[in-house]
Amino acid sequence: MTDLILTINAGSSSIKFSLFTMAAATEVIRGQIDGLGVHPRLVAREGSEKVVDQTYPDGTGPADHAAALKSILALLQERHPDQQVTAVGHRIVHGGPDFKDSVRLDDTVLDRLKALNPLAPLHQPHNLSGVAAARAAFPHALQVACFDTSFHRKHPWVNDTFALPNQFYEAGVRRYGFHGLSYEYIVSRIAELGLADDSHKLVVAHLGNGASMCAIRDGVSIASTMGFTALDGLPMGTRCGQIDPGVLLYLIGEKGMTTEELTKLLYNESGLKGLSGISNDVRDLEESDDPNAARALDYFVFRVRRELGAMAASLRGLDAVVLTGGIGENAANLRHRILHDEEWLGISIDDERNYAKEMRVSTDTSPVQVYVIPTNEEMMIARHTARIAAQESVGTAS
């Protein structure tokens, strides 16, 4: 019987999953269940083949994470009856100041992670719901937490702190950065592609419904646009990005908004959705003739261009830029708008390559190379989980 790793990325109404060999070298199957509790849909692929695309009739589909995992387990047993899940790797958005690497999930670790829920209210509770469901579904499997914040824990102090009294930094109020699993994968992929010599000073833009940018020197994160929470930096699908804290004081003091109302505003009603009044989806906005849709995209482009300059300044130079994430990988028009007229940074874009969806979209003579590289957070989770499993196996043997 073959041992496998299951990776889980649990959101508020969805679970993304992938199945890997224990060596984490080969992905067996990937998919997701979304619309939990409303209109659930299960989609799964093996390689390029779609093996499941099921929308459940009303009232019959999985209503929560536990039920969704049972559906996933049934699919895996149907497709691969002679294989067993011996380890489960979980994407956990926030690891706080203490978790600098992936760890085995036990009750003590879970209690510490639950205490971080207020720092990532849009993600952390759902991540941990996925853990609870997986522990019930796979009681004998190793459970591993893989953190989006770990990659950024080597930030220099000046990129890690706020200009507040020092006791707040010591209490954990600091810049954590997120999307670390994505950035870590891109760094590994650059090495695999033989591009490392061109990327000592690298900026990666993870642009999707959640968006951030990271300055990376020789594979180490030194600055990120996200901070204490996943609200800071770039505007996102429904999140505001950088905002003057005086605005929040005004909304509390003059408009009487509660913490709950502010949380909903900043996490769920802002960003592209709030600016456009239409949608958080770039595809919808590009197709719309509403001027507010155009203005929302203008703002997004402006902020990405601004942060690109800031990240290059933190690196004191620039060798390469990588765009990834749903927008970075697929929105050629936005890539053009973000990267044109950036010769002052050493960037020269080849529009033919950009619209042809080639990996390298810079010109042959561009001093700074620009690449479009699909991210794979699941692969990174599987690698970390395999490493922890191997360490435990050695410990048991000794």
- Report d(CA 72, CA 137) in Å as an integer: 10
- Residue 252 CB neighbours (<10 A): 14
- Report d(CA 381, CA 146) in Å as an integer: 6
To the query of whether residue 244 is one of the catalytic residues in this protein, the response is no
CA nearest neighbour of 321 among 184, 212, 201, 189: 201
Order across the sheet with 41-46: list the strands.
Answer: 49-55, 41-46, 27-34, 14-21, 2-10, 83-92, 142-147, 103-104
- Report d(CA 93, CA 189) in Å as an integer: 22
Let me know: does 322 contact 193? Beta carbons within 8 Å.
no
Q: Which residues lie below 8 Å from residue 167, measured CB to CB, with a gap of 6+?
A: none
Which residue among the candidates 64, 106, 107, 148 is catalytic per the annotation? 148
CA nearest neighbour of 28 among 1, 49, 42, 14: 49
Q: Which residues lie below 8 Å from residue 245, measured CB to CB, with a gap of 6+?
A: none
List the beta strands (DSSP E) in the chain.
2-10, 14-21, 27-34, 41-46, 49-55, 83-92, 103-104, 142-147, 201-207, 211-217, 220-224, 320-324, 369-372
Q: What is the three-class DSSP state of 78?
A: helix
Let me know: does 46 contact 31? Beta carbons within 8 Å.
no
Active-site residues, by number, are: 148
